[in-house]
Structure 1
Amino acid sequence: MVNPAEVDAVVLVGGMGTRLRPLTLSAPKPMLPTAGLPFLTHLLSRIADAGIEHVVMGTSYKAAVFESEFGDGSKLGLQIDYVVEDEPLGTGGGIANVVPKLRHDTAIVFNGDVLSGCDLGALLDSHATKDADVTMHLVRVGDPRAFGCVPTDSEGLVTAFLEKAQDPPTDQINAGCYVFKRPVIDRIPKGRAVSVEREVFPGLLSDGLRVCGYVDSTYWRDMGTPEDFVRGSADLVRGIAPSPALTHQRGEKLVHDGASVGPGALLIGGTVVGRGAEVAGGARLDGAVIFDGVTVGAGAVIERSIIGFGARIGPRALIRDGVIGDGADIGARCELLRGARVWPGITIPDGGIRFSTDV
C-alpha cells in the first residue's frame, strides 16, 4: 500500500495551447473556465481528494498566471511548488525538470489537459502491489486508430508502445497519467526536450524495467480540441464527469451569478453561461460554453460551440460546432457551421456569412 501523503503529484501544464489557441487571448488554456472553474481546479481537487498533499506544477507558458490563481495551494488543501521551463522540454523533459522540487520516493505525473475520473488511490495501490517501476493509467476507447496503443500481457505488464495504426492490436491507450519510482525519474535526461511516450517508456522496456498498465473504465477525455473542451464542460455540468471541486446541482445548464437569461430562452445539454453574460429571450443554447461578458441576441441558436470572453452573437445567428474568439462580433442572421473559427476581435456584419446550400 502507498501512503498518498508520501507521494508527489507532478502536473505538466500547457498541453492545451496550440489546438485551442484561436479561442482566446485572455488566459492559458488550462485556466479556461470549465463548468465555471479554471480547468486545472478539477484535477487539483482530485489530487487533494486522494490524500496527496504536495504538487509540483511545471510549465513553460505564462507561469505567473498559475501561481496567481492557486498560490501555495492551501485553499485546495495542497502544498504547491512551481517550476518554469526556460524553453519547452516535452513531457519527459518536463518531468526531469521538476526533480529538485520532489520530496518523496514515488511521484504521480499528470498531463494537464486531461479530464479523468480515475481512482488515484487504486492506481497507487496497483503500483505498489505489482512492485512496478512505472505504472501507466490506460483506458479503452471505441476507436483506437487515432491513438498510439499500449498492449499488456496477462499479468498487466506493458509489452510495447505502438504508433497509430489502421488495425491496432488493442483498444488500450495511454491516458496521460503515470506513477514513477523516483530512481526512474532520475534516469530521464535533463536539460533537453524529451518525449516520455516515444523515448522514455520504450527505453524502460528495452532495459528490462517493470512497466505495468492499470486499465479501468472510468471517465476520460483529452481536452485539447475545441470539440472535446465543449463535451468535457457539458459532462461536468451534467454530472457525467466527476469533479470534487463542483458543488452545484448537476443538470442541463449552469448559469453563473451576474448572468441574465431572457424569457423563453432554452438552455440544455450542459450549457454554461458565464458571469455577466446576457442571453436574450428566444435564444437556444445546446451544449454551449458561453464565457463571461458574452451577449447572445434574441432567437440566436448556439450548439456545441465555444463563445469567447466578451463576444457578441447577433439576433437569429446560428453557430454550430464552432469557436468564436474573445471580443468577436457576429452579426444578426449569420450562419457558422462545423469547423468555423472566428479569431478574437473580428467583426462579421449582419447577414455577412452563411453556410446553407439554399439562397
Structure 2
Amino acid sequence: MTSTDAVILVGGLGTRLKPLTLSAPKPMLPTAGVPLLTHLITRIRDAGVTHIVLGTSYRAEVFSGHFGDGAPLGVELEYVVEVEPLGTGGAIRNVAGRLRGDTVLVFNGDVISGADLPALMAVHEQADADVTLHLTRVADPRAFGCVPTDAEGRVTAFLEKDPDPVTDQIHAGAYVVKRSVIDSIPEGRPVSVERETFPGLLAAGARVMAHVDAGYWRDLGTPGDFVAGSADLVQGIAPSSALPGPTGPALTLPGAHVDPTATLRGGATIGAGAVVGAGAVVDGSVLFDGAVIGDGATVTRSVVGFGARIGAGTVLDDVVIGDRAVLGAGLELRAGARVWPGAQLADGAIRFSAG
C-alpha cells in the first residue's frame, strides 16, 4: 500500500527549547547539519510518500522560505497556517482541504525515529483499520501517556500519565488515519487526538490498531534530547538519509575551521563558518553556524547558537548559549544553564548552573 498524503504538525512554540526557538521554530533548528524537519521529510519520501502538507503556526514563513515547494528533496510540499491554536486534532482537520487520498500518514514534527513506515502502513491496510498508531517502548513510561494493546495488536485504551503504568508502550507521534476520520474531527475549535479523537473512536467501536516498533525513537522537546538526538544522527545511531556527510565521531560543515590540536567527539556538529580553537574540546555538542570556541575551551552536551563566542578556557557542560551571546574567558556553566541571545558575560572565574 502507498499512502497519497503525509501531514507533519509543526505549529508548536518549542517553549522548552528557549532561547533556541526565539529565532526559529523547533523543527527548523540545525540538527546534525540540517533542519530537524529535513530528516523526517526524507524518511517519508524514502517510504514512497511524496505529497506532504505542513501544518504550521509559529514563524510559518521560516518553513516555506527554506523548503519552498519541496522539489530539492524530491517531494511536493504544501503549507497550511493555523491562525489560532487548535491542538493536534484541530491542526489535522485544518489541513484537510489539501489532502488528496483516502489514507494519511500523520507525524509530530519534533521526533527522530527509525520506525519502519512501510510496515506501519502495511499493518493499517491488512487490518482495514480506521487508525494505526506507531507505538514505542520506553524504559520509564511514567512521563508519558500509555497505550495498552491486546493480543491482536488492537488498542484497548489511551491512559494518562500514571505513577504505576500498566504498559511500557507509548504513542510515538506517528499514525496512519483514514481520511474519513479526519473529516469527522470538529472544525474551528481545539481538539486533541490523544484525549478526544482516539478515545472517541474506541468508544464508538472503531478499529484502532498499533504497530510496536523497536527502532530508534527520541522526542527532541528538551535541550538535552535535542543535543543527544543530533549526536545520534551524526554517529549513525539514529538513521537518516539527510545527513550532509559520513557518520562518525563528528560532523564538520563547509567553511568551518577546526584547529588541528582541537578534539571533536561524541557526535559533535560544527556549523558552517564556525571556529574551534587550539586545544579546545567539543564533545556531543551542536555548534550553530558562525559559533566561535576559544582556545582550550570545553563544550560538552551543549548547544552554542548562531554567531555566539565562547572565551578561552571556558567550560560549558549541558548548557544552551543563545545566538550572538559573548562569553568571556575562564567561565564555567553547567547543569541546564541558559544564556539568552546577545548576552555578554565578562572574563572571570564565574561558576554557574541552573540548579
TM-score, length-scaled by structure 1: 0.96
Residue from 159, 164, 167 that aligns with 1:162: 159
User: Following the alignment from structure 2 to structure 1, what is the Cα–Cα distance between the partners of residues 18 and 283?
Assistant: 23
- Superposed, which structure 2 residues align to 1:217-232 within 5 Å? 217-232=214-229
- Please tell me whether residue 21 in structure 1 is matched to residue 1 in structure 2: no
User: Following the alignment from structure 1 to structure 2, what is the Cα–Cα distance between the partners of residues 171 and 15?
Assistant: 26
**Which amino acid counterpart does residue 128 of structure 1 have in structure 2?**
E
- Please tell me whether residue 245 in structure 1 is matched to residue 242 in structure 2: yes
Aligned partners of 1:288 and 1:302 also within 8 Å? yes
Residue from 171, 176, 183 that aligns with 1:174: 171
Residue from 192, 195, 205 that aligns with 1:195: 192
Aligned length: 353
- Superposed, which structure 2 residues align to 1:118-137 within 5 Å? 118-137=115-134
1:318 matched residue in structure 2 = 315
Q: Please state how far the C-alpha of 1:247 moved relative to its aligned partner.
A: 4.8
Aligned partners of 1:15 and 1:111 also within 8 Å? no
Aligned partners of 1:16 and 1:113 also within 8 Å? no
**Which amino acid counterpart does residue 89 of structure 2 have in structure 1?**
G
User: Following the alignment from structure 1 to structure 2, what is the Cα–Cα distance between the partners of residues 141 and 240?
Assistant: 17
Residue from 3, 6, 10 that aligns with 2:7: 10
User: Following the alignment from structure 2 to structure 1, what is the Cα–Cα distance between the partners of residues 346 and 126?
Assistant: 63
- Superposed, which structure 2 residues align to 1:343-354 within 5 Å? 343-351=340-348, 353-354=350-351
2:334 matched residue in structure 1 = 337
- Please tell me whether residue 103 in structure 1 is matched to residue 93 in structure 2: no
Q: Please state how far the C-alpha of 1:24 moved relative to its aligned partner.
A: 4.8
2:324 matched residue in structure 1 = 327
Q: Hey, which bits of structure 1, 4+ residues long, moved more than 6 A? A: none
Q: Please state how far the C-alpha of 1:88 moved relative to its aligned partner.
A: 1.5
Q: Please state how far the C-alpha of 1:355 moved relative to its aligned partner.
A: 4.1
**Which amino acid counterpart does residue 76 of structure 2 have in structure 1?**
Q
User: Following the alignment from structure 1 to structure 2, what is the Cα–Cα distance between the partners of residues 95 and 340?
Assistant: 36
User: Following the alignment from structure 2 to structure 1, what is the Cα–Cα distance between the partners of residues 63 and 270?
Assistant: 23
User: Following the alignment from structure 2 to structure 1, what is the Cα–Cα distance between the partners of residues 167 and 252?
Assistant: 41
Instruction: Report the identity percentage.
Output: 64
1:32 matched residue in structure 2 = 29
Aligned partners of 2:307 and 2:324 also within 8 Å? yes
After superposition, the Cα gap between the structure-2 partners of 1:283 and 1:24, relative to the gap in structure 1 and judged at 3 Å, is: farther
User: Following the alignment from structure 2 to structure 1, what is the Cα–Cα distance between the partners of residues 58 and 261?
Assistant: 42
Q: Please state how far the C-alpha of 1:352 moved relative to its aligned partner.
A: 5.5
User: Following the alignment from structure 1 to structure 2, what is the Cα–Cα distance between the partners of residues 268 and 210?
Assistant: 47
Three-state SS of the structure 1 residue aligned to 2:20 is coil
1:90 matched residue in structure 2 = 87
After superposition, the Cα gap between the structure-2 partners of 1:16 and 1:283, relative to the gap in structure 1 and judged at 3 Å, is: farther
Three-state SS of the structure 2 residue aligned to 1:132 is coil
> Structure 1 unaligned runs (5+)?
none
Three-state SS of the structure 1 residue aligned to 2:282 is strand
1:124-183 Cα shifts (integer Å, max 9, x gaps): 001001111000000000111111100000011111111111110100000000100111
**Which amino acid counterpart does residue 84 of structure 2 have in structure 1?**
E
Q: Please state how far the C-alpha of 1:75 moved relative to its aligned partner.
A: 1.3
Residue from 269, 274, 283 that aligns with 2:280: 283
- Please tell me whether residue 152 in structure 1 is matched to residue 149 in structure 2: yes
1:258 matched residue in structure 2 = 255
User: Following the alignment from structure 1 to structure 2, what is the Cα–Cα distance between the partners of residues 55 and 63?
Assistant: 15
Residue from 185, 203, 219 that aligns with 1:206: 203
Aligned partners of 2:13 and 2:58 also within 8 Å? no
Q: Please state how far the C-alpha of 1:229 moved relative to its aligned partner.
A: 0.5
Three-state SS of the structure 2 residue aligned to 1:177 is strand
TM-score, length-scaled by structure 2: 0.97
Q: Name the Cα RMSD after superposition.
A: 1.2
Q: Please state how far the C-alpha of 1:199 moved relative to its aligned partner.
A: 1.0
